[in-house]
Amino acid sequence: MMGPRVWSSVRQGLSKGLARNVRGLASGEGKKVDISGIYPPLTTPFTATAEVDYGKLEENLHKLGTLPFRGFLVQGSTGEFPFLTSSERLEVVSRVRQAMPKDKLLLAGSGCESTQATVEMTVSMAQVGADAALVVTPCYYRGRMSSAALIHHYTKVADLSPIPVVLYSVPANTGLDLPVDAVVTLSQHPNIVGMKDSGGDVTRIGLIVHKTKKQDFQVLAGSAGFLLASYASEGRGAGDQGLGFSVGRGLADVLHLTLGQELWGAYVAWPMSLGLSCASWSDSASRGNGKMPRSCSTASLSRMPR
């Protein structure tokens, strides 16, 4: 059970957050917040002594803030959130909120293994500036993570969250795909606005879009490899685009063209973006000067065990 202090924090967060609900429910119309767009995943820079390098984090934000993104995603897989302490996770969200342009949305990964811990982290992230919570599937006991268990988990989190919740399915890291039937049920919750699907199954994404069409539920592609195919399936954007670091404007052009139903133009823009990215990303990653986000696999800037 949650202690009195935690419940007090939850109540405070609810009273603040439900009033703003991420600028959430549109003026009395009952519509969910629009999360469509491109959200590059922010890496977490580390110093040579494995401390979070907040200066480099803010420097990256100032550079990325000039590009036409819908917002930013922090504490996703690219941000190495499993390797951060709770206080570091909150400090990262706070620093990003302060450094990023005010007109952009901040999606923050608040998922933990237990429902209680996820609720606490979500409320805390809302208090330090997150606009929406990206909640990854609990996975340590994945054999017990049935549709019923996951529906119960996400419903409880969404009930108590002062900001909108975005479901997050990333089977490559969790070994668990959020079942389609669970997604369909959860899409009916008024505080669950969408899903980031990183599984790469475009047929599945199309099925989810089709089955949730009446719920004002938005599906974000979790990888650049199937972004355009997701748009063709009426997906609403991308929640984890590493390519955005080097070709953010190109990805924004793809979004503009597809939403304008100019798919031929999008197909032309997409390979051009990919080609530019391959050169730009490898160049910035190998230079090691800290001026652009580095890959999480770079040992000197990562807490990943070697």
What are the CA-CA distances from residue 93 to residues 34, 123, 124, 126, 280 (Å)?
21, 12, 10, 9, 27
Q: Are 40 and 65 in contact (CB under 8 A)?
A: no
Question: Exactly one of 32, 102, 196, 214 is catalytic; which is it?
Answer: 196
Euclidean distance between CA atoms 134 and 158, whole angstroms: 11
Is 214 labeled as catalytic in the residue annotation?
no
Q: Count of CB atoms within 10 A of residue 285's CB?
A: 16
Length of the chain: 306
Amino acid at 41: P
Euclidean distance between CA atoms 113 and 57, whole angstroms: 26
Dihedral sign for Cα atoms in the order 191, 72, 236, 211 = negative
Euclidean distance between CA atoms 55 and 172, whole angstroms: 31
SS3 106: strand
| Count helices and strands in the chain by DSSP H and E runs | 11, 8
Torsion of CA 219, 180, 206, 71, to 10 degrees: 10
- The catalytic site residues sit at 196
